[in-house]
Amino acid sequence: MDATVATALAEGDFRTALEASVGGPPPVEALALERLGRIDEALALCDAYLATAPGDALALLVKSAVHARRGERMGALEAAQRLAEVSPDRAVAHQLVTSLGGGSFEAPLRGEVVTLFDAYADSFDAHLVEVLGYRGHEAVADALAAAGAGNPPGVIVDLGCGTGLCGPMLRPLARRLIGVDLSSGMLAAARMRGVYDALLEADLLYALATWPDASVDAFAAADVLGYIGALSGVFAEAARVLRPGGHFVFTVEATTKGAWRLGPSRRVAYTEPYVRETAAANGLVVRRHEAVTLRREERVGVAAWLTALERPA
């Protein structure tokens, strides 16, 4: 990928990315269009390109992402299945297949998550923070600052940014702050805060899988990975996208049984060995891993992990 396009895509400057991508590889131009929300044009470009190069991984990713955004699950699934065939070693490809209902059930399906959070967006901050005592956003932002993100300020991506609770705390650490979320309702609330340089409506798996190599200084993921299931695809892509020395800080609900499991809450909880082993298997070093209370549920604190990973320099 051309360096100007890669930098613009990484930094959330999608207009520049599109201008610079015209005349280059069509899948890259399609990605820039998709980032700008011009999804019909992106799909047309992908389909035309895939007619001549049916195994192009980026075109398949963008095609699948566009179908998913349009709510066309079968189209999204077919493109993801083709991606898994052509890139069998990419865990994220297999995870996309599963998340689209093409494998054994392991996490809430994306449509379920969008419906839930679109409906929750207006009352989210008041309910979660004031009623349930949620503190995940503060824990993640504090841990990123303590890990050294922001010194100097770089590109920070807030995965599953929701209404943007992390945003004001991440802003001083970032030269470019980009939020990613599946729910347009949550993103509308995040936009109102006026602290993000760019907001992207996307499944974080697609966003990570299409982000340029070694282009992000830090990822924040507060209380979102529990909607994903297995962490191998997320960690593998994050390790690819982070700059050497970059950080990935997240909270997830904790369990002591097995590796991870989908609970009655419809969120996934993870064991400490699973988090540590999956990080190590993907070349990420665990710099911090501690038990925290994420919020209250039925007046009982929800046990969670606060974890800071680093891509070794």
Residues at the interface with ligand SAM (CB under 6 A): 113, 117, 136-137, 160-162, 165-166, 180-183, 186, 203-204, 222-224, 227-228
Place of tokens 């419906």: 115
Closest residue to ligand SAM: CB criterion: 162
- Give the Cα separation of 117 and 185 in Å (integer): 7
- Give the Cα separation of 186 and 195 in Å (integer): 14
216-222 vs 242-254, strand pairing mode:
parallel
Minimum CB distance to ligand SAM, residue 165 (Å): 4
CA distance between the termini of the chain: 23
Phi, psi dihedrals of residue 312, rounded to the nearest 5°:
-55, 145
Question: Which residue's CB is nearer to ligand SAM, number 33 or number 209?
Answer: 209
Question: Which residue's CB is nearer to ligand SAM, number 60 or number 234?
Answer: 234
Minimum CB distance to ligand SAM, residue 4 (Å): 27
At what angle are helices 184-193 and 110-120 packed, to 10 degrees? 50
Minimum CB distance to ligand SAM, residue 286 (Å): 21
Minimum CB distance to ligand SAM, residue 78 (Å): 19
Minimum CB distance to ligand SAM, residue 193 (Å): 11
Question: Which residue's CB is nearer to ligand SAM, number 155 or number 186?
Answer: 186
Amino acid at residue number 267:
R
List of E strands, 138-241: 154-159, 174-181, 198-201, 216-222
Question: Which residue's CB is nearer to ligand SAM, number 62 or number 113?
Answer: 113
